Amino acid sequence: MNPIIQTKIEGQINNNKIMIYMKGTPSMPQCGFSAATIQVFSALGYPFETYDILQDPEIRQGIKEFSNWPTIPQVYVNGEFVGGCDIVMEMHKQGELEPLLKEAMAS
């Protein structure tokens, strides 16, 4: 991976307690998985930052290499990769997501 792209991704992840790489924007998601992920985070009410990977092909590819995860969206909490839509949905269903976010906001 290009070191400049890696540094940019690391900065975004480390400077935002909740960072979501998605297709589109929260108000205009460009795929169902991104829309579903944003819906969960919006419902929980914790502040989060997003990055539209469709606007930046280098980040689009770089984030997949960075996480070693092939799909978008990708969610990071407190600098740690949490997963994509399926994992986020399962964590939410099991009651595991909100405590993680609450802890992130407290740190």
Residues at the binding site for [2Fe-2S] cluster are: 31
**Using an 8 Å Cβ cutoff, are 17 and 104 in contact?**
yes
Cis status, amide bond into 73, omega within 30 of 0: yes
Residue 4's alpha-carbon distances to 18, 42, 62, in angstroms, are: 22, 31, 10
Binding residue ranges: 31
- CA torsion through residues 63, 64, 69, 74, sign: positive
| Structure-token match 């935002």, residue found | 16
